[in-house]
């Protein structure tokens, strides 16, 4: 192993690495809570909370999807130890995003929420993404892997790529009303190579199975 790979691997394997990454990715939540306390989230605090929690969900999702490509491109297997934590952080931010919408925007009125989901496609797509994430979060532990078997567990967790597409579509439709696609283009430009890498990997897998 080259010197830089050895240093990178040592850093990823350090006991402080996972807590540091977790704190870094949850730090925006502390900033948002502080903003609520200080009344500094602007004229529409609910919108700020919904928007920021949604973007953090997307960022954590992209980091989760990047773990395996980074592991293979760099040859540093230690990247894999971050995947489960990143996936759970993604789901945590998604729940916070859904909570902010259901509580702060809709006031827990279930009938209004259902009508809104049916009326606005971007909310429907976002809801589907969260529902798809639920079984992935519930089966992210060793006991679930053992119960399902490695092969079935891997097939189930391929749904994370569908989650990625739904999340980008949700973000695109949400920004379409304001004709603001700059951030969507950035996130899409990151997601597409990750999806392309995954499709190539599946193609190689199917080719080996047919051989």
Three-state DSSP at 81 gives helix
Mean pLDDT by 10 residues, the chain (211 residues): 84 92 95 90 88 94 92 90 94 94 86 86 91 92 86 86 90 77 86 82 62 55
pLDDT 10s digits, 122-147: 888 999 999 999 999 999 888 888 88
Residue 36, CB-side half-sphere exposure with 13 Å CA sphere: 12
For the beta carbon of residue 180, count every other beta carbon within 10 angstroms: 10
Tokens of 34: 């502080």
Tokens of 4: 């830089």
Which pLDDT value is given to residue 87?
A: 94
Which pLDDT value is given to residue 42?
A: 83
Per-domain boundaries in the chain: 3-210
Closest listed residue to residue 182, CA positions, set 192, 191, 170, 172: 172
Give CA–CA dist 193/191, Å, rounded: 6
Outline where the chain has alpha helix (H).
3-13, 17-38, 45-74, 83-99, 110-119, 121-138, 142-148, 150-157, 159-176, 182-210
Which pLDDT value is given to residue 208?
A: 62
Which pLDDT value is given to residue 166?
A: 92
């Amino acid at each position: 192993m080259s010197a830089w790979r050895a240093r990178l691997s040592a850093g990823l394997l350090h006991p402080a690495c996972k807590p540091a990454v977790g704190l870094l990715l949850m730090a925006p939540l502390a900033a948002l809570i502080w903003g609520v306390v200080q009344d500094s989230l602007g004229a529409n605090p609910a919108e700020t909370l919904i928007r920021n929690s949604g973007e953090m969900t997307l960022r954590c999702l992209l980091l989760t999807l990047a773990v395996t490509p980074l592991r293979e491109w760099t040859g540093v297997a230690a990247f894999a130890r971050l995947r489960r934590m990143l996936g759970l952080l993604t789901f945590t931010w998604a729940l916070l995003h859904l909570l902010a919408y259901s509580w702060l925007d809709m006031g827990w009125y279930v009938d209004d929420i259902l009508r809104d989901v049916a009326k606005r496609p971007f909310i429907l797509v976002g809801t589907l993404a969260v529902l798809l994430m639920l079984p992935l979060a519930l089966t992210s532990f060793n006991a679930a892997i053992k119960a399902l078997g490695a092969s079935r567990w891997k097939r189930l967790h391929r749904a994370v790529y569908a989650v990625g597409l739904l999340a980008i579509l949700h973000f695109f439709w949400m920004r379409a009303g304001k004709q603001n696609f700059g951030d969507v283009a950035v996130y899409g430009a990151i997601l597409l190579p990750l999806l392309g890498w995954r499709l190539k990997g599946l193609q190689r897998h199917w080719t080996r199975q047919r051989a």
